Chain A
Amino acid sequence: MTVKSLSEKLNLKILVQGDMDREVIGGYCGDLLSWVMGRAQSGDCWFTVMGNINAIGVCVLADCACIVLCENASLDENAKARAEIQGVCILSSEENSYTLAAKLGEIL
């Protein structure tokens, strides 16, 4: 399933349009960056409330497919700018990470 398809099925807002054709093969929930960095897998959809510039770095280095900011968590301006430069797809939802991950589990 592509990021674009995921955003439609989970009714996500698109904050930064990166590579929407990237394949999503799994999911990961977490807000501690080192924890996520060491455990998220390439191609994961990362559910978090962490919308700072370092989250963009972690997403790129861990090779996640996209970031979903849960519960309308804010995206810092410099994080948005970095995501646009690096082509990181950032999506947003008012729902929490549990609800979103459960939905992802059903459609993957």
Chain B
Amino acid sequence: MGNSITLHYVVPGDDFTRAGEASGSVKRTLKDLGFSPETVRKVVIALYEAEINLVIHAGGGEIDVEISPEVVSIVLADKGPGIPDVELAMQEGYSTAPDNVRSLGFGAGMGLPNIKKYTDEMKIDSTVGVGTTMYLKVYNN
């Protein structure tokens, strides 16, 4: 695709003060490019949740975003502990977040369900002890 924009972010682990920087940057970019508010909202909610997951669970990771007029594609890759049971992790209310994370207002078990809800395509490849890669697509409308 000739007219796409690619963005790359490195998310540090365990730093909640910087969580959301990538989502904020992507939000500004999509708004500047004239994407509809609804598309922008879907992308940033899904991306923020995924970014927080990298911080909470994976010790950080990397995010690649490709923006074309038709679709926003996001790949999040980490070398964290992996997700033993993806189906269980997808259930609303299921969380493995520790107490210190819950006291910050996270850990409601809504992260992955929110990502699913706000994206058009979502795929998780996870191997315990190796890491997790998540592929997301949101179509522009």
Is there an interface contact between B16 and A61, defined as CB atoms closer than 8 Å?
no
User: Once the chains bind, are B114 and A53 in contact (CB under 8 Å)?
Assistant: no
Residues of the B chain whose Cβ atoms lie less than 8 Å from the Cβ of A61: 20, 23-24, 27, 44-45, 48
Q: Report the interface size for chain B: residues with CB under 8 A from the other chain.
A: 24
Residue B1 CB within 8 A of the other chain: no
Check A54 against B20 for contact (C-beta < 8 Å): yes
Is A6 engaged at the interface, CB distance under 8 Å to the other chain? no
Give chain B's interface secondary structure class.
Answer: helix
Residue of A nearest to B118 (CB): A38
With A57-B24, A60-B24, A61-B23 as contacts: A34 and B104 at CB distance below 8 Å: no
List, in ascending order, chain B residues with CB within 8 A of A53's CB: 16-17
Beta-carbon nearest neighbor of A62 in chain B? B45
B61 at the interface (CB under 8 A from A): no
Q: A residues 63-89 with Cβ under 8 Å of B? A: 63, 78, 86
User: Could you write out 18 A-B pairs with CB less than 8 Å apart?
Assistant: A32-B106, A34-B108, A34-B110, A34-B111, A37-B45, A37-B49, A38-B110, A52-B16, A53-B17, A54-B19, A55-B105, A57-B19, A57-B48, A60-B20, A61-B23, A61-B48, A62-B45, A86-B24
